[in-house]
Structure 1
């Protein structure tokens, strides 16, 4: 997928993407959060896929279970049968008592049933990307139908490089807090579709350079429209937000 092809095939037909579903409206990275994003009018959601014991793939963000479930311990070490028993909703509010940590397959089925686009972030800080990427890519191959409604993002460039090696037709998006000087070389190496970055650290010069190079520019995690008002002028294509209702004027009709 050359950059010229990317520029011609504009998959991102939205300016507002729900973060971890809609993390201020429902417990993050749950099916309830995905549904909340859809109910708020978002047509794309971002969620995190995390590798656990026995090769399990779940939708979860943290390295430990404590913050977002009634469990405790290291997320990577929990078995699928045990994480399935955890409550991932009561920490948020009584309304969501009993909400579960979804598997990747659960989430794909839910998102497609709602006709949403998906930005799937691979949460993996280690070098052993071969333990997560091939499994994720296999599930996407077998269970995700529309490639033009799928973006794969990660802070782990090695993970994205392996995604590209497995399937060079996927839309890939490196994630950055601070954009490095060699960002363009990194994007070229995987024929990336977009650059996704922290809105609060992005400069106008960086934004305009990304756009001049032909890439989409997505900014996370903005919950106050005033704080990214200038970013639209710089060329930001979409905002990733915990509360899509805050960007109602930018939501698709």
Structure 2
């Protein structure tokens, strides 16, 4: 099973949707950009198409998947129609083949954007021999329990807190969100281990503003490595690493070299 703890390294360097700052997110080009900068693991999102394959997409919002070329919904379109708008859109199978053929040493962090077809997801991981190199994360408890049955050799991570509306990508809402997170910070170290136990998770994916030495220590005491998202500012990187996190997820993996060797 992939090691998401700190043994042998200070922390895991994880590219968010590949390297979303350097290339279009959730594409193989973005994966290659992340690997060129030296990541240990790549995080990417998996969405289901109605009547089509599993694909890499963060949401059902066509604007995101087409990188601004079109608006509308993703799930209802065929793969062929989507690729007219987003030619570089990979299927889940194509992404897995990439990790076998081009990135045999890189870990996979699959973030669920679906609540069905988990048997298909698990079967694909086994078919490519990648189940034990994979961490699967989400916030929906029934989905995580289903994933545990479908891919028992993959590691499960609980994402906290839920960001269903992608608020983390809307800077104008950050001041309001920060106030809410401040109120959660004191209790997160006690709450997270209980949530993880309920869903069978063995790692936690914690929003970086909730990372403190205390919250990380309480998760570690419960045997839970902490991966934190999404860290793009140098001061935030220094803070979460000092707090003892086991992995850092970033849109721009260049931050690791630029900040921690400065």
| TM-score of the two chains, using structure 1 as the length reference | 0.81
SS at match of 1:84: helix
Aligned to 2:169: none
Distance 1:147 1:166 in 2: 10
* Structure 2 unpaired stretches of 5+: 162-183
Aligned to 2:111: 121
SS of residue matched to 2:32: helix
Checking the alignment, whether the CA contact within 8 Å between 1:11 and 1:148 is kept in structure 2 is no
1:245 equivalent to 2:254? Answer yes
Alpha-carbon deviations, 1:97-132, whole Å to 9, x = none?
A: xx51110011111122222210011113xxxx3x23
Once residues 199 and 11 of structure 1 are traced to their aligned partners in structure 2, the CA distance between those partners, rounded to angstroms, is 17
Q: Give me the whole-angstrom Cα distance separating, in 2, the residues matched to 1:11 and 1:67.
A: 29
User: 1:3 corresponds to which residue?
Assistant: none
Rounded to whole Å, the distance in 2 between the matches of 1:218 and 1:243 is: 16
207, 210, 213: which one aligns with 1:204 = 213
Is the contact between residue 16 and residue 250 of structure 1 (CA under 8 Å) also seen in structure 2?
no
Rounded to whole Å, the distance in 1 between the matches of 2:259 and 2:3 is 17
Runs of 4+ off more than 4 Å: 11-14, 178-181
CA contact (8 A) 2:141 2:199 kept: no
Q: Secondary structure at the match of 1:137?
A: helix
Q: Is 2:9 the partner of 1:21?
A: no
TM-score by length of 2: 0.79
Q: Is 2:201 the partner of 1:192?
A: yes
The equivalent residue for 2:71 is: 72
Distance in 1 of aligned mates of 2:13 and 2:251: 10
Matches of 1:45 and 1:29 in 2, distance apart?
10
Whole-angstrom CA distance in 1 between matches of 2:89 and 2:130: 24
Counterpart for residue 91 of structure 2:
103
Q: What corresponds to 1:10 in structure 2?
A: 3
* Superposition RMSD in Å: 2.3
Instruction: Choose 190-199 or 62-71, whichever is displaced more.
Output: 62-71
Report if the CA contact (8 A) 1:119-1:153 is conserved: yes
- Give the SS at the match of 1:75: coil
Matched, 1:135 2:107: no
Q: Closer, same or farther in 2 for the Cα pair 1:11/1:197, shift >3 Å?
A: closer
The answer to whether the 8 Å contact 1:15/1:250 transfers is no
Where structure 1 has 5 or more consecutive residues not aligned to the other structure, the ranges are: 1-5, 88-98
